[in-house]
Amino acid sequence: MTLLRLSPLALSRSRFALSPLAETLGTLIELGKPQPDPSFAAWHARHHPVFTAAIATDPFARGLVRLLSSTKWLPEHVVLPPLDGMRTTLGPELARVAAFSDQRVRAQLEQSVAHSWQRHDLSWLAGTGWAVRTAELLRAVWVGHVEPDWPRRRAVLERDVTYRAGLLAAYGWPGALRQMSRRSTWVGADAIRFSNQSFPDRVVGDEGMLFVPVSVSSGTWLCEGPSGQYAQVYPARGFATLSAVRPPRALARLLGPGRAAVLHELAVPATTSELAAQLSQSVGTIGGHLAVLREADLVAGTRVGRRVVYRRTELGELLVGERAD
């Protein structure tokens, strides 16, 4: 069992953050899997052939993708804690990736091989500048497979942060972390169990822990930086929305397509502005739909700070045909 230990000061300073690097790494890992998570099957079918063709002539890229997609030890140069909170951008993150020495990259990749469930060798690790080549590969994945859908993905991530911020205000960090990961749970008053594997415990620095949602992964991983900087990456609620499943036709005929779309989208609680961005509608239009759904007792709103977060009621869940989480 691996624990992350937090002092009272570190606990008080822990917060949420976004990381385009983590989102891109999660995307690369999913694209490297021959059999994707069922939640991403449709998305994988669209993107996997293009991705496979792009790396077909590059042994370094093929070897790295295969290794990252089949190991429990992600190398440190691709799992760095974000430095700018919710405003983190990809450029500075990739610059940090590219700054690692070949010696450190090789040492970490050897650890990845040792913790893989497949057989690997590092014969593809030829030449020099491996960290720079890794950053170039990640940038290509971002441009080809993440950036076009980033506004929708970011909306999913921000909705998850809003939801967990509400839990944090009401129940503290144990409530906010509940169901964040199958392997992570709060232990006592000052520690998070991160993994069932036996690694040395980590001590989180006084700047606190970062919690980073990603929209294209069903797994979780730990990012470690200098001086006790740690971030836990976890799958956001509603991460499977990349498949863009439409509401059932019967529901659309009953409520109208606009209100049906709002009710269907509230599988993950959201604010009016988040729904507007997700559905490409005006805030006024979404507000009108929500008013009707509230009157019908299909949705309810809860104030979280200055925001009102809407969720489906039990009746709304029954109408959609889904069980409340």
pLDDT of residue 239: 57
Residue 112 lies in a domain: no
Using alpha carbons only, what angle is made at residue 87 by residues 274 and 183, rounded to the nearest 5 degrees? 75
Residue 189 lies in a domain: yes
For residues 222 and 285, membership in a common domain is answered with: no
For residues 267 and 297, membership in a common domain is answered with: yes
Last residue of one domain, picked from the residues 237, 270, 286: 237
For residues 232 and 251, membership in a common domain is answered with: no
Q: What is the largest CA-CA distance in the chain?
A: 66
Residue 219 lies in a domain: yes
CA distance 79 to 96: 10
CATH value at residue 301: 1.10.10.10
CA distance 80 to 22: 8
Torsion angle defined by CA atoms of residues 20, 145, 120 and 128, in that order, rounded to the nearest 10 degrees: -70
Q: Can you give the residue range of the structural domain that contains 227?
A: 2-16+152-237
For residues 157 and 218, membership in a common domain is answered with: yes
Most confident of 49-58, 161-170, 233-242: 49-58
pLDDT of residue 200: 82
Predicted confidence (pLDDT) per residue in 150-201, tens digit:
988 888 898 888 888 888 888 888 778 776 776 677 887 788 887 777 778 8
Average pLDDT on 38-61 reads 89
Judge whether 260 and 254 are in contact, CB under 8 Å.
yes
Last residue of one domain, picked from the residues 218, 237, 256: 237
Task: Enumerate the H helices of 14-85 as residue ranges.
Answer: 20-31, 41-55, 59-68
Residue 205 lies in a domain: yes
pLDDT of residue 246: 56
Last residue of one domain, picked from the residues 205, 237, 269: 237
Given pLDDT bands bounded at 50, 70 and 90, which one contains residue 53?
A: very high
pLDDT of residue 322: 52
Specify the number of domains making up the chain: 2
- Mean pLDDT score across all residues of the chain: 87
Residue 7 lies in a domain: yes
pLDDT of residue 325: 40
User: Which comes out higher in pLDDT, residue 230 or 245?
Assistant: 230
Predicted confidence (pLDDT) per residue in 120-151, tens digit:
999 999 999 999 999 999 999 999 999 988 98
DSSP letters spanning 155-219:
HHHHHHHHHHHHHHHHHHHHHHHTTS-SS-EEETTTEEEEESS----EE--TT-EEEEEESS-S-
For residues 209 and 159, membership in a common domain is answered with: yes
Residue 230 lies in a domain: yes
